[in-house]
Structure 1
């Protein structure tokens, strides 16, 4: 249909998916929330998509005016590309937020150094399998939600064939924030990478067809800025709602900075604050922080767009390093908001306690499923404990591992390499919602009946 471009089709394809729906029960900052106000990964992703689309429209219109785009339709394509990339940017995040990534990384880091792993790897070599290479090990040591999102979109969100959700190369390239492998020096330095060994052929295609590799896709910078702007303001707002951020004290830290650097913003907020008192607004602090969020986002959005336009040639040639926000006039506001979140939100007793719960849950699940799945020699039935655990893994994920290069289910599980078995486990565990992970953990430990 003429009114939809290919990136719109990506959006329409994923909006109905189970992978996206699972984000409604994955933590942004506060896990396992019972209230309906605090953000989840899904609501965060929707906000990022809104911010990203808005910035992309501004930049796209400018590119038309500068005659860098020939047609206005190209501006629409840019906005659609950024919007769908923003919507799926957290698709691969495991339960319990970024801390969940750390738990998986730490578990595998210890396991690869253990005598248990050495015996397992020796047993696989005796069967004719190659030992895990450096990149394969690093895929788990530096487990990255961004790389998992690529894997979900290209394989795990199974529709009809081995290509997953059949996303465009442009969207996948934009989503790949760190376009290098897990054994690249940048991955070892930053502990971030863009794709697993299992998707190396896809990366080569993206490198060839889109041009990422030594440089990011230009739209990735817009996605990254939208993500930063969304979380910087939303975390503070959620903290106020939960009563762990004393907004009046926090605003004292902010107001002087605004008065000095953004007098118009300071005066606008002063007017809103006076209005809230005059109108006897209930939940005055929440109203005030929401007004601040809008003003602060406006400051950062304008600053980021300005950097993109000023550094356009550097971005297009791949010589731009860093983020748009850190090179903008709003970089000090970014640092101030980060300080407030660290002071109040990330160190909150509830957050720390629930993250420790997540640590126990994910660690125990990895203990159970890795021990079971890597030690299955024959076609799994349901007699032994390890076979029973295997059958708890999503049938969809098991089916993906059976597909050969032609997309046909010809690979028997007993012929599956150690690397692919470990991927099966991380696919399963990282795909869990916070609540499902806790519930399954309780059932397997006998704390809760099925």
Structure 2
């Protein structure tokens, strides 16, 4: 893989190549990507989607929206720092093509901003509950009517694949979705493969999948244009990651490691003593002890440690990226950047404490259980109304239910797979509160 192709400004529908030297420096194409994502309705819905604590009543706990904004800020720093070093190593990119280090920051920031855009309500349990409905719930009746890959797409419903769909799918009068640059889409593609075959390998890119069958051609076109290394072809395609994906992933890893930990402390689920013990180990080489002890309030001490910790991990991630740049460009780097971190032991200690005290807290578990029921019930009502409509067997009840769906999701002229997948995507688009509200409506608990 080579950087000139990887930094493509091309968008779906372009007939001519977009050259970096011809860009308006006041608003680059990569900046346009960021703007289009942040103004999209899919991004706005993240303001009421779970990051860690579902339906939290406190105002300082992170949602998917605040998490995504913070990941984009960290991603921008990672991209700029790495971009500066990449241009020093490959000066032709600047001298011949006009690329600047800010370009790398803008691409990573945009991809990082959108990294959770396809995630369902109720956190990761939302993804699992959609899949479970078709795997072991009432939706299992559709298995024999779908191809293996189609069925796998929905039983392993994946937020990353849904995000790619949201950003690229055609709508009537709107070609190419948000029409983002291929460089940004490439950096977003964390798992550049389809749902089958499953690959139980140690390669980080094989952990999940990155596109549904409906977006296979689009995905392949983007990957081919970027010159991503193809790792399998024929009936089942997969590619090596875009190098900047590793920086997007590092930004996410850094934020959830440090900030979820901070949320746990602010909620009283983790004692401040642990924060001192665990975070100070991470920043012991950069902490200003005098300044730290001058801070009278817990929130200020935590903010100081958090800022130092994030900066420490940013510098470490960029160093790892550059040390392994050749292997990454060759598609031969198989783990996340933070797996190579010299702070790996400290990171694992923090994550283990967050898992025990935050992710598995009673409040979280109880609300995730409720989320399973809510999502299964909503899916069941809409799926059966749509299928009955397709079969011309819809009752008055089914027709009433369909009137509550946005028009885009009411279409029944599609294949069964597309109807089921679209319904999954509709449920995934709901905020936590919207899902609860719709569930109350269809169960007759709220008029």
TM-score (norm 1): 0.85
Pick one of 418, 429, 432 that aligns with 1:431.
Answer: 429
CA distance in structure 2 between the partners assigned to 1:378 and 1:132 by the alignment: 16
Say how many residue pairs are matched: 409
Pick one of 361, 367, 384 that aligns with 2:396.
Answer: 384
* Counterparts of residues 412-423 of structure 1 (less than 5 Å): 413=412, 415-423=413-421
Local SS of the residue matching 2:437: helix
Give the 3 Å change call, closer, same or farther, for CA 3–379 of structure 1 in structure 2: farther
Corresponding residue for residue 127 of structure 1: none
* Counterparts of residues 143-158 of structure 1 (less than 5 Å): 143-155=157-169, 158=171
Give the 3 Å change call, closer, same or farther, for CA 25–263 of structure 1 in structure 2: closer
Pick one of 282, 285, 294 that aligns with 1:264.
Answer: 285
CA distance in structure 2 between the partners assigned to 1:73 and 1:205 by the alignment: 23
Corresponding residue for residue 155 of structure 2: 141
The CA deviation at 1:227 is 0.4
Local SS of the residue matching 2:389: coil
Q: Structure 2 regions of 5+ residues with no counterpart? A: 1-23, 229-237
1:296 and 2:317 matched? no
* Counterparts of residues 208-287 of structure 1 (less than 5 Å): 208-212=224-228, 213-253=238-278, 255=280, 257-258=281-282, 263-265=284-286, 267-268=287-288, 270-276=289-295, 281=296, 284-287=297-300
Local SS of the residue matching 2:435: helix
CA distance in structure 2 between the partners assigned to 1:220 and 1:4 by the alignment: 23
Pick one of 197, 215, 223 that aligns with 2:213.
Answer: 197
Corresponding residue for residue 440 of structure 1: 438
2:133–2:139 contact (8 Å) kept in structure 1: no
The CA deviation at 1:35 is 2.5
The CA deviation at 1:185 is 2.9
CA distance in structure 1 between the partners assigned to 2:34 and 2:341 by the alignment: 30
The CA deviation at 1:75 is 1.9
1:355 and 2:365 matched? no
Deviation sequence 1:351-396 (CA, Å, 0-9, x none): 1111112111111112222222222235698x62222222222113
The CA deviation at 1:147 is 0.5
The CA deviation at 1:112 is 8.1
The CA deviation at 1:93 is 0.3
CA distance in structure 2 between the partners assigned to 1:394 and 1:68 by the alignment: 50
CA distance in structure 2 between the partners assigned to 1:112 and 1:313 by the alignment: 49
* Counterparts of residues 116-135 of structure 1 (less than 5 Å): 116-117=141-142, 121=144, 131-135=145-149
The CA deviation at 1:297 is 1.1
Deviation sequence 1:194-246 (CA, Å, 0-9, x none): 00000011122023211234310000000000000011111111112222211
2:139–2:380 contact (8 Å) kept in structure 1: no
Pick one of 100, 104, 108 that aligns with 1:74.
Answer: 100
CA distance in structure 2 between the partners assigned to 1:101 and 1:439 by the alignment: 19
CA distance in structure 2 between the partners assigned to 1:181 and 1:67 by the alignment: 33
RMSD over aligned Cα atoms: 2.2
Corresponding residue for residue 47 of structure 1: 70
CA distance in structure 2 between the partners assigned to 1:188 and 1:310 by the alignment: 24
Q: Structure 1 regions of 5+ residues with no counterpart? A: 122-130, 402-412
The CA deviation at 1:272 is 4.0
1:105–1:143 contact (8 Å) kept in structure 2: yes
1:309 and 2:322 matched? yes
Local SS of the residue matching 2:239: coil
TM-score (norm 2): 0.86
1:337 and 2:350 matched? yes
Which ranges of 4 or more aligned residues in structure 1 deviate by more than 4 Å?
Answer: 111-114, 187-191, 378-381
Give the 3 Å change call, closer, same or farther, for CA 250–343 of structure 1 in structure 2: farther
2:54–2:364 contact (8 Å) kept in structure 1: yes
Local SS of the residue matching 2:50: coil
2:278–2:346 contact (8 Å) kept in structure 1: no
Pick one of 123, 138, 145 that aligns with 1:97.
Answer: 123
The CA deviation at 1:191 is 5.6
Deviation sequence 1:137-168 (CA, Å, 0-9, x none): 11011111000000001127x58423211112
Give the 3 Å change call, closer, same or farther, for CA 188–438 of structure 1 in structure 2: farther
Local SS of the residue matching 1:3: coil
The CA deviation at 1:187 is 7.3
The CA deviation at 1:444 is 0.9
CA distance in structure 2 between the partners assigned to 1:195 and 1:58 by the alignment: 30
